[in-house]
Amino acid sequence: MSLVLDPAAQDLLFREAHTANAFTDEPVTDEQVQAIYDLVKFGPTAFNQSPLRITLVRSPEARERLVQHLAEGNRAKTAAAPLVAVLSADNEFHEELPRLFPHFPQAKDVFFAQRPAREDAAALNTALQAAYFLVGIRAAGLAAGPMTGFDAEGVRKEFLDDDHTPVMIVNIGAPAGDAFHPRSPRLDYTEVVTTV
């Protein structure tokens, strides 16, 4: 009751939402992905750096190339998912900063001239955007199956370039009847939060 978000929205995005391991055949359209992106692009990042890049793996040939780099337990469900997205960090995001952060266009050179600083910032902020994207998938009434069990270097070489680091792969679709494991326990508030 301390929340103002509608309870149905709470359920859709968090309480009833579950990582999905199986999906129906219903396709996920580009229009849906665009609607998701156009919602979650407003989620905050440091200096509005927005380093998330998304590769939609649609063709059967590309799907096959992706699956070989996944952990064994992630292969079958990814091969069968209606849509698979590779989420990656653009380590050259600073090139866009003068446009994305116009009230301090010097940020590009002051903070991000060095690649290691960019990689650190991109890793954190891409993860933030990946989380917003997962919330957005649920906002579209779809289920997400996020995975970090893959050979990142293999996926990078297969689909990206030296300037991009894959951080997560997400299966997307309408959940099948057997999509969900039982909800695992969460840490209690008192285990997570301390006050000083």
**Contacts with its own copies in 53-112 (CB under 8 A)?**
53-59, 62, 96, 99-103
Using rule CB under 8 A, residue 30 touches its own copies = yes
Residue 113 contacts its own copies per CB under 8 A: no
Residue type, 194: T
Is residue 45 a contact partner of residue 112, using CB atoms and an 8 Å limit? Answer: no
148 Cβ neighbours under 8 A, 6+ residues apart: 167, 168, 169
Rounded Cα–Cα distance for residues 102 and 122 (Å): 19
Which of 17, 81, 169, 172 lies at the binding interface for its own copies (CB under 8 A)? 17
Q: Does 141 bind its own copies (CB under 8 A)?
A: yes
**What is the 3-state secondary structure of 124-168?**
HHHHHHHHHHHHHHHHCCCEEEEECCECHHHHHHHHCCCCEEEEE
Q: How far is the CB of 134 from its own copies (least distance, A)?
A: 7
195 binds its own copies (CB under 8 A): yes
Q: Give the nearest distance from C-beta 177 to its own copies in angstroms.
A: 19
The number of residues that bind its own copies (CB under 8 A) is: 84
- Choosing from 22, 67, 70, 121, the residue that interacts with its own copies (CB under 8 A) is 121
Amino acid letter for position 25: D
Compute the least distance from the CB of residue 194 to its own copies, in Å. Answer: 5
Pick from 98, 88, 87, 85: nearest CA to 49? 98
Between 25 and 191, CB nearer to its own copies: 191
Q: At what angle do helices 152-159 and 60-67 cross, to 10 degrees?
A: 150
Task: Compute the least distance from the CB of residue 93 to its own copies, in Å.
Answer: 9
Among 21, 129, 165, 171, binds its own copies (CB under 8 A): 129
Residue number with CB closer to its own copies (40 or 179):
40
